[in-house]
Amino acid sequence: MSFYQLRLSLAFSSQTTFITRRHIHRSNNSRQLSTLFASVVDMNHHETLFKSFNPLGPNTNLSNLSTGESLQLHGKQITRLSSSPDIFLVRDLIHKEDRNILMKAAALQGMKIAGTRSSGENTVRKNSYLTWIDPHSILCSNDDDEGGDYWKDASSVARETIAKSRLCFVHDVMNDLINTVEKMEFCFAEDLQVAKYDKQGMFDYHHDGYSRYLTVLTYLNGVGGTYFPFGDMGDELLGINFTNEDEVSVLKFKKNLDKCCGILIVGEEGSDPYLKSSGFVKPKNIIHIKAGDAIAFYNYMPGGEKDLRQLHCSLPVPREKWISTSWFRSEALTGPFAALKKMQLFQESSSLCGA
């Protein structure tokens, strides 16, 4: 081989090696970029999932309902009354025999006057009484103790009522945690409250609060009178941030609205007693309920802040009214470390689902 041919061969070999190395280098860069891109996509996917993750809100079945739509869930007909904020109606949550058991057991046990506090010159609660029924009571009844029989039955009814409320309305993730000792900070159910209002009994505007993120309220004798001034208002409530205001400011905002607002729940008594007694009550929608029907509403924003759109009241009733209430609480997701606790719950649920 001549010197020229040798140089040409070496040059070609060197060029080939350079091209090959450059190709490998580009391939490595491509793989790194592909991995990085996949990581970014995965991170964006998880961020999207996290933003939509709301364990303080409705379960998947209910979230997909539009206002006015209904579905059958666990043998119950559920209708969405409002999507902003979330309010639902469930028909016949508690059957007649069980309603009578709860009312009689509460009366036999003895109902105490509902706690009152001052709100300006007005009393927040008036002519209302309540008691609590332990769903896990182990009190034994005997033949000579009628109250014992009713109390035993009432505990069973309370347990069943809380279970039905949980199945219908608690978020899927929270359902797996409810009342487990190690996860009670995330979700647990209170004992069932039974309350009675005498004629003209009332409970002024309030937010359920105290980490009670979900309320399921059942009308035991078919008398309503519950008013949500911001129910089903959606984008009509521009100009106020409901997470940064206090209750007084929010109600002042409502008073200044020159339009029909909110949802009024009425029973066999009809709407006239409420509409004629208060100029403040100008509902956009009137919902008619029967004895045994219940409403469910979610009291906190996804980030753990109070949702003051869920302010509501029990208007002065024209006749005796009985209700029961199931409250579901989350200290973790409504407390000072709500964001961290929500991320923890999201990561745990994602790992279980393989997300």
Backbone conformation region of residue 42, classed left if phi is above 0, alpha if psi is from -120 to 50, else beta:
alpha
Which positions of the chain have pLDDT values less than 50?
1-26, 33, 36-41, 117-122, 140-144, 355
pLDDT tens for 245-288 read 677 788 777 777 767 889 999 999 999 999 987 667 889 999 99
How much is the pLDDT for 85?
94
How much is the pLDDT for 283?
92
What pTM was computed for the model? Answer: 0.82
- The DSSP string of 83-103 is ETTEEEEETTSS-HHHHHHHH
Q: How far apart are CA 71 and CA 74, in angstroms?
A: 10
pLDDT tens for 49-65 read 777 899 999 999 999 99
Which two structure tokens, joined as six digits, stand for 191? 């004992």
Q: What is the DSSP letter of 194?
A: E
Contact predicate 183/301, CB 8 Å: no
Q: Which residue has the tokens 């790194």?
A: 32
Helix extents (H) in the chain: 3-52, 60-63, 96-109, 146-169, 172-175, 247-255, 272-275, 331-334, 338-353
How much is the pLDDT for 25?
46
How much is the pLDDT for 257?
73
How much is the pLDDT for 212?
97
Q: Which residue has the tokens 């949550």?
A: 93
175 CB burial (10 A radius; 0-12, 13-18, 19+): middle
